[in-house]
Amino acid sequence: MDTTFTPTIIGVAGGSASGKSTLVRKLQEAFAEEQVTTLCHDFYYKAHNDLSLSERSALNYDHPDAFDTDMMIEDIMALKAGKSIHRPVYSFTEHNRLPQTVLVHPAKVIILDGILILENKTLRELMDVRVYVDTDDDVRLARRLVRDVQERGRDMSSVLKQYFSTVKPMHRDFVEPSKRYANIIIPEGGFNSVALALLIENIRSLIQ
C-alpha cells in the first residue's frame, strides 16, 4: 500500500496510568478524518515462550529491555515509507506475546503511546511532536489499581507488589528522566482540556 504523504508522528509518554490512553483517544477522535493509526509500545513486549506463567509474572516489565523497541522502530519506518505492517499482539493476562498479528496501514497521523518511548533516542527522533503526560504518583497508583484489577484480572496484592518492586523504581530511573526530551508537558493528560486543545491546534498546523 503506497502513499503520497509524509505522516505526522506524535509520541505520547508518561508514567503508568498517567492519562496517556485518554489523551491518545481524544487525539484519535480529533484527527479521525485525517486517518490515524496508533502503535502502543506495549504491543512490542518481548515474547517469553520459554518461561512458565509464574516466571513471566515475575519479570520486570517497566525496564527498557522488556520491549523489542528495535522492532517497533522498523515498523514505524515501514509506515513512513508507505508500507503496511503486521504489528504484534500482547496479552497482559498471559504476560506473553500471542501468535496472531494485526495488519496496520499507513496513515497521515501516527500516534506512539508508551511509558518509555522518549527514553530511546532513535525512537524519539522519529517523532514530530513529543508529549509527556505528568500526573501525581498517588493518582497514578490509584488508577493502576482499578485498571489492573478490573481490566487485567489481577488481584490487589499482586498489583501493589509489582508497583513498589518495579513500576515505581523504573519510573524514577527511566520514565521521569525522559520528560526532558518532551516538546510539550501536559499535567493530567487527556483530562486537561486547555492543553489538549493547544496540542490539537499544533498538530493540525503540522499536517497542513
Q: Are 59 and 66 in contact (CB under 8 A)?
A: yes
d(CA 120, CA 84): 23
Q: Are 189 and 20 in contact (CB under 8 A)?
A: yes
For the segment 8-43, what is each residue's pLDDT rounded down to a tens digit? 999 999 998 888 988 999 999 998 887 899 999 999
Domains and CATH numbers, the chain: 8-196 (3.40.50.300)
pLDDT at 49: 93
Report phi then psi at 81, rounded to 5: -85, 5
Closest CA to 199 of 179, 187, 184: 184
Q: Which residues contact 97 (CB under 8 A, 6 or more apart)?
A: 45, 46, 47, 88, 89, 90, 91
For the segment 79-111, what is each residue's pLDDT rounded down to a tens digit? 999 999 999 999 988 899 999 999 999 999 999
Q: What is the mean pLDDT of the chain?
A: 91
48-55 long-range contacts, Cβ below 8 Å, gap at least 24?
A: 48/95, 48/96, 49/96, 53/94, 53/95
pLDDT at 5: 77
d(CA 181, CA 179): 5
